Structure formats: C-alpha cells, structure tokens
Amino acid sequence: MIKGELYKLLRSKSVKVLFILLLILNSLQIIYVNYQNIYGDINTGKRKILKIIEGPISQQKYDWLVNYHNTMLEQVNNGNYNTKNKSKNTFSGYVFGDEQISNNLLEDYEYTINYHSSIKNKITILDENIKKTQNSKWKKENIMLKKRLKNRNLSYYYDYTLINNFMNQDFQYLLSLIFCIILVIKLFIYEKQKQTDLYFYISRKQIKKIFISKIL
C-alpha cells in the first residue's frame, strides 16, 4: 500500500515542480548565507562575544558590552573602519559588523536586566484590575495571571534570539516540513480527483491502514 502511495506521488507533475522549487529555494538560501560571509563572519563574531557575556548577569559584563559597543560606534561614526580587509581587533573581522552585533546584544541584555522590573509593573496593573473589576471571571483570570508572573525573574543571560538564527540559517528545514505536508494533502486530493475516495467510506476496517500509509 505504501509503494502504491509513493507511485502516485512520483507520477504527479505538481509534486515534481514543487520538489524543484524546494531545491532552488534551498540553493538560494545557501548562496545568501555564503554571501553574508563576504562582509565578515557575523555568526562567529557573535558567538565569541556571547562567550564573554553569557551566564550570570553582572554589572561587569554589562559595562564591558556598553564600552565595546560605544568604541565600535565611535569608529563607525568617524569612518574609521575598512570593509575590504579584516581587522584583528574585532570579533567578526570588521568594525561595522561588531557594531551591529554589539548593538543587538546590548538591547537584548538590557531587556534581560529590566525583565524583573517590567514584570513588577505588570503585577501592579493586575492588582488594580483585581481591585476595580466587578466581573468575577475577569477577576479570577487576573489572579491566576498574577500567580504566574509573581516569581518570574531572569538572573542568567543567554542568546534568546536563537529562533531568528534558526529561521535565517536553517530555513531549508522549514521548507522540507511544508513540502511533506503538501505531499500528504496531495495524496488525499488525488483520491478525490480519481473518485477513489469511496474506499474511505466502504472499508471501515481498512481506513486506518489507508491513512497511515499516506502519512508514512
């Protein structure tokens, strides 16, 4: 049964076109990643800086990141950087690249530091809602939300933008997932077009086998 489902897919022109499109998109993604490396290995530079600032949050790490970013920003503003040759005094190989990296990480680090105070502000708003609301359901929801937020705090810093890196650098996995979903949908559409979906209704004992074979 599984061989029969695969045979249906291989005969489909739309599946072949979709597969070719997937390969083209994947190739473009590889080219894009390599093209980015012309301007310095941004990801490598970022990992090097993260080794310095990741872990327990401290004033020393924050001060280092602020000072480094200000140094890079000053060089960029003064035009004191080279885009052709790599700089040994930078993590990515380029001043402009390090300025971008440190700027993004600084914003993320500051968010982590201020996380607890932002939670406290939200709890204050929830307290006001609990006092003033006359709706018992709304009051109960606010109380439950307050319990969830009450003990939240961040004392360690890690790169919380990894999902963005995954989408940027490993987009082919997402395309593969979409491709698989479309294939399964295609198999069921095939039955409808050929009017063989009647088997789903008359063979109740085999319906699980049919569905499983298509999904596999």
Provide the pLDDT for residue 32: 65
Q: Does 62 fall in a domain?
A: no
Q: Does 76 fall in a domain?
A: no
Q: Does 135 fall in a domain?
A: yes
Residues 146 and 184 in one domain: no
In angstroms, the CA 95 to CA 88 distance is 10
In angstroms, the CA 108 to CA 126 distance is 26
Task: Give the alpha-carbon dihedral of 20, 23, 24, 26, to 10 degrees.
Answer: 160
In angstroms, the CA 19 to CA 26 distance is 11
Q: Does 64 fall in a domain?
A: no
Res. 26: pLDDT tops 80: no
Provide the pLDDT for residue 74: 93
Range of weakest confidence among 59-63, 64-68, 139-143 = 139-143
pLDDT band for position 39 (cuts 50, 70, 90): very low
Q: Does 67 fall in a domain?
A: no
Which residue, chain included where needed, has tokens 């800086």?
A: 49
Res. 105: pLDDT tops 50: yes
In angstroms, the CA 83 to CA 75 distance is 13
Per-residue pLDDT tens over the stretch 153-210: 888 898 765 545 544 555 666 677 777 777 777 777 777 777 766 666 666 666 677 7
The domain tally of the chain equals 2
Res. 141: pLDDT tops 70: yes
Q: Does 96 fall in a domain?
A: no
3-state secondary structure of 154: coil
CB distance 9 to 187 below 8 Å: yes
Please give the average per-residue pLDDT across 76-91, as a whole number: 82
Angle between helices 207-215 and 171-193 (to 10 degrees): 140
Q: What are phi and psi of 156, to 5 degrees?
A: -125, 145
Q: Which two tokens stand for residue 170?
A: 């490993």
Provide the pLDDT for residue 192: 72
In angstroms, the CA 36 to CA 189 distance is 41
3-state secondary structure of 193: helix
Q: Does 174 fall in a domain?
A: yes
In angstroms, the CA 216 to CA 208 distance is 12
Please give the average per-residue pLDDT across 69-80, as a whole number: 91
Provide the pLDDT for residue 38: 44
What is the domain extent for residue 31? 1-39+170-216
Q: Note the maximum CA span of the chain.
A: 77
Residues 142 and 181 in one domain: no
Res. 140: pLDDT tops 80: yes
Q: Does 69 fall in a domain?
A: no
